[in-house]
Structure formats: structure tokens, C-alpha cells
């Protein structure tokens, strides 16, 4: 496995591999790698000749009072795990390598950010879109992989791909969960043991809402009230939001005749967790 920290070095290496006709799969991450990342990596390994994983905690996507400093960083352990899972190339740049000076330009996301995480994290998706565009320019992959767990992020990036005619194919993979249902997240290590036990209630509330949606008459207000109650009655943290929207459009649902997402976020003392379920009409499918 090759590890690069300099943009010009990884570029030269990937140029060479592409000259040899290799298809490159790319999995961008912020590190503290877990089975959620590894499922995307496994899919990328199947569909490409070589897989690049980036490990970069992107300062641009954190708000001033968010957990940029406390975000778990464990590069040595990540490199070991990545190698064991068959990753070919890791790109782990410093913030100074990615942002040698203040950016004079950036991507502004102006649709789909007034809801869900966009509402409570102003500027977050601009930071995500900007770093993803930079990373795609650096790696120039054939395909890039995102997890459904961060559904709004996957939608924003997919929209950016279309808006900017990006040549990379954008692929989303399913959410990977702990045996009790909690979605895997690097932030889970920042939960207290009590919060870890409670955290599963976010998914329980979403599942309840999803079940009611599947059962028939679509009454978003009542469904959300019930699902929110389930979460709030069982956690010490605060429910930041829970909503039902069309997916990937992220617009209010009028009739249940297209895919919908039920998504929620909970703020615990040291970690903000998000989760969602995506439902297709006429099909009891869950992501
Ligand atoms: P992160 O390191 O949290 O920024 O995540 C990197 C990529 O892994 C993103 O595309 C995430 O959506 C994806 N990811 C994170 N957690 C999971 C999970 N539990 N299941 C599937 N994908 C995930």
C-alpha cells in the first residue's frame, strides 16, 4: 500500500496508473476507519482496478463551535486497517497541504441545505462540496463512493456532479450498523457508555416512523410526532431534528409516490449522531 501526503506525489502516481489503463475507485473519509468505510472500500475494490482512500479531517466543514479538535484521529491504526483490507493507495494530507492559503473560491450549495443538517450546520455542505471537488481534482477517480448514512451529503455531492459535469461516477453504498442497530460512525467513540446505550433509540424512532409510512396513509405530522416522542423519551441528549422529505430532492412530501427519507440527528454531550431510512413507494426497502 502506498501512502501519500503531498498532492503532487499522489497525482504523479495516479497519472501513471491511469496511463496503464487502471480504473480508480476513491473513498473519501475523515479517518477513524470502521466497517461503514470498509463496506465502501470493498465495493470499490470489486468495481475498480485500484482503490484510493483519503483520510482528511476537513476544517472547512466544521462550524466554530463544532468538534473539529475532538474529532477522533488515529492515522497509524487506520493505515494498518486499510492495508489489511486491500486498499492500494492512501492520501492523508495535512490541512496546510490542502489549504496552503485561505481559499479565494469555494462551492456554494444553494438547494437542499435549508433542511436536516444544513439547517443546524450553516456552511457545512459548502465545506463538504468544496473539499470533495478538490479531492476529485486531485485523485481524478473513475468512481467515488459515499455512504447512505450521510444521505444529505450523498445528495449534495450527486447534485454537484451533475451541475459541474464531473466525469467521475458517484456511487452510494448502504448504511452499516452495529448489531443493536446503531449506525457506525467515527464519532461513536466520543459517546459516554450511558449515551452509547441510549444512542440506538435514534434508529428505533426512525424505524417506527418508517413502519408507519410503509403501513399506508401518509400523515407526516402524526408520524413525526410519534417517532420524535420515541427518541426523546429514551435519550438524555437532545433531538436536533427529525423530518420526512423526498429523496434525493429533499423537498416536502405531498403524496407518497416517490422515494422518501426519514432522517434525524441527536446531540449528545460529546457527539452529534445522524441516521436515516430511505423508503421507496410500494416496496418495503430500507437503506
Ligand atoms: P466520514 O469518515 O464519517 O466522513 O465518512 C466517510 C464516508 O463513509 C462517507 O461517505 C460516509 O457516508 C461513509 N460512512 C460513514 N459511516 C457509514 C456507515 N455506518 N455505513 C456506510 N457508510 C458510512
Nearest Cα residue to atom 12 of ligand 1: 147
pLDDT at 218 over 70: no
Does 90 contact ligand 1 (Cβ within 6 A)?
Answer: no
Residue 217 CA to ligand 1 center (angstroms) comes to 33
Only one residue has cell 435514534, namely 202
Q: Which residue has the higher pLDDT, 254 or 26?
A: 26
Read off the pLDDT band of 217 (50, 70, 90): low
Read off the pLDDT band of 256 (50, 70, 90): confident
Does 42 contact ligand 1 (Cβ within 6 A)?
Answer: no
Only one residue has cell 441510549, namely 198
Tell which atom from ligand 1 comes closest to the C-alpha of 31: 2
Strand-pair partners of 262: 244, 277
- The mean pLDDT of 246-275, rounded to a whole number, is 94
pLDDT at 11 over 50: yes
- The mean pLDDT of 194-199, rounded to a whole number, is 98
pLDDT digits (tens, 9 = 90+) for 47-77: 999 999 999 999 999 999 999 999 999 999 9
- Backbone φ and ψ of 186, nearest 5°: -60, -30
Instruction: Supply the residues annotated as catalytic.
Output: 37
Burial of 114 (0-12, 13-18, 19+ CB in 10 A): exposed
- pLDDT of amino acid 257: 85
Please give the Cα distance from 249 to 230 (Å, whole number): 27
Residue 100 CA to ligand 1 center (angstroms) comes to 26
pLDDT at 273 over 80: yes
Candidate from 51, 150, 273 with most ligand 1 atoms within 8 A of CB, to mutate: 150
Task: Could you list the beta-strand ranges (E) of 20-119.
Answer: 24-29, 50-55, 89-91
The CATH class of 186-277 is: alpha beta
Give domain limits for the chain.
Answer: 2-173, 186-277
Please give the Cα distance from 152 to 109 (Å, whole number): 12
Nearest Cα residue to atom 13 of ligand 1: 147
pLDDT at 284 over 80: no
Tell which atom from ligand 1 comes closest to the C-alpha of 40: 22
pLDDT at 92 over 90: yes
Q: C-alpha cell of 110?
A: 444553494
pLDDT at 170 over 50: yes
Are 265 and 116 in contact by the 8 Å Cβ rule? The answer is: yes
**Alpha helical stretches, state H, 66-109:** 75-84, 95-98
- pLDDT of amino acid 283: 59
Q: What is the mean pLDDT of the chain?
A: 96
Q: Which residue has the higher pLDDT, 38 or 111?
A: 38
DSSP structural state of residue 127: H
Distance separating the N- and C-terminal Cα atoms of the chain: 31
- pLDDT of amino acid 287: 41
Residue 88 DSSP SS3: coil
Work out the percent of the chain whose per-residue pLDDT is above 70. 97
- pLDDT of amino acid 15: 98
Rg for the chain (alpha carbons), in Å? 19
Burial of 13 (0-12, 13-18, 19+ CB in 10 A): middle
Query: How big, in percent rounded to 5, are the helix, strand and coil portions of the chain?
Result: 40, 20, 40
Dihedral sign from CA coordinates of 14, 20, 26, 29: negative
Domain 2-173: give its CATH code: 3.40.50.620
Amino acid at each position: 500500500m502506498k501512502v501519500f501526503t503531498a498532492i503532487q506525489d499522489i497525482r504523479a502516481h495516479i497519472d501513471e496508473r491511469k496511463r496503464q489503463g487502471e480504473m480508480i475507485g476513491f473513498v473519501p473519509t475523515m479517518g477513524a476507519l470502521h466497517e461503514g468505510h470498509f463496506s465502501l472500500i470493498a465495493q470499490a475494490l470489486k468495481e475498480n482496478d485500484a482503490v484510493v482512500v483519503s483520510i482528511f479531517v476537513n476544517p472547512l466543514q466544521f462550524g466554530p463551535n463544532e468538534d473539529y479538535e475532538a474529532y477522533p484521529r488515529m492515522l497509524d491504526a487506520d493505515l494498518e486497517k486499510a492495508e489489511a483490507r486491500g486498499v492500494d493507495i492512501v492520501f492523508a494530507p495535512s490541512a496546510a497541504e490542502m489549504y496552503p492559503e485561505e481559499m479565494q473560491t469555494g462551492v456554494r450549495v444553494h438547494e437542499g441545505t435549508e433542511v436536516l443538517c444544513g439547517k443546524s450546520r450553516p456552511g457545512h455542505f459548502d465545506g463538504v462540496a468544496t473539499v470533495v471537488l478538490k479531492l476529485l481534482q486531485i485523485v481524478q477517480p473513475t468512481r467515488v463512493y459515499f455512504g447512505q448514512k450521510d444521505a444529505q451529503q450523498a445528495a449534495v455531492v450527486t447534485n454537484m456532479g451533475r451541475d459541474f459535469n464531473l466525469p467521475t461516477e458517484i456511487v452510494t453504498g448502504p448504511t452499516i450498523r452495529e448489531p443493536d442497530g446503531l449506525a457506525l460512525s467515527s464519532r461513536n467513540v466520543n459517546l459516554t457508555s450511558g449515551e452509547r446505550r441510549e444512542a440506538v433509540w435514534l434508529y428505533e424512532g426512525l424505524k417506527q416512523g418508517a413502519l408507519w409510512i410503509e403501513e399506508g396513509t401518509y400523515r407526516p405530522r402524526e408520524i413525526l410526532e410519534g417517532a420524535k416522542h420515541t427518541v426523546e423519551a429514551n435519550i438524555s441528549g437532545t433531538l436536533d431534528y427529525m423530518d420526512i422529505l423526498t429523496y434525493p430532492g429533499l423537498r416536502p412530501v405531498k403524496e407518497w409516490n416517490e422515494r422518501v427519507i426519514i432522517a434525524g440527528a441527536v446531540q449528545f454531550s460529546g457527539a452529534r449522531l445522524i441516521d436515516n431510512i430511505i423508503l421507496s413507494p410500494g416496496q418495503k426497502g430500507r437503506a
